[in-house]
Amino acid sequence: MSRLAATIEAILYLKARPVAIAEIAECAACDREAAEEGLMELMAEYAHRDSALEVIETPDGYSLQLREAFQDLVQNLVPADLGVGALRTLAAIALKGPISQIDLVNLRGSGAYQHVQELVQLGFVRKRKQSDGRSSWLQVTDKFHQYFQLNQLPQPFDLRSVKPAPEADENMLGAS
């Protein structure tokens, strides 16, 4: 593979979105014709390679993406994008957890119910009924620690022996 084709591959990888040929040429510091030739070389290289990636043309430009045959891995390995509200709810649980769902809703607002449901489905939060059955305890999971590359609490961790953390900065955790 030529140096220009490798440069274009790096551009497509780093941009992580479709890139127009004019932008490719500008980023690669070459003219449009050279960019087109380098791109065709790169596309041919990926077409003949037994790789999980491919270079495709879209209406918005050229893109380096995962081949269709590997799309099922995305659901298992990459969580869905979380909105700002869900991220703030997750931060509140991480900082104050374990926290009761009632306390979380008082802190974050009623939207927290939906955020918790989403976070539980994604595996970032564990939900356990309180002994009195009125609410649930919420805490982050090992997946949260692994995904965000944070140090974990020592295991095993027994929720019954833990009291909620002191109040965190309300500016950071306020409802959104």
Query: Which residue stretches of the chain are H helix?
Result: 3-15, 21-28, 32-48, 71-77, 84-96, 101-108, 112-122, 142-147, 170-173
Q: Of 74, 93, 117, at which residue does a domain stop?
A: 74
Count of structural domains, the chain: 2
Domain-terminating residue out of 74, 97, 126 = 74
Residues 90, 70 within the same domain: no
In a domain, 132, yes or no: yes
Percent of the chain with pLDDT strictly greater than 90: 40
Query: Domain residues for 19?
Result: 3-74
Residues in the chain, pLDDT under 70: 74-80, 149-176
Alpha-carbon torsion (106, 110, 113, 119), positive or negative:
negative
59 and 95 share a domain?
no
Q: Is the pTM value of this prediction over 0.85?
A: no
What CATH number is associated with residue 97?
1.10.10.10
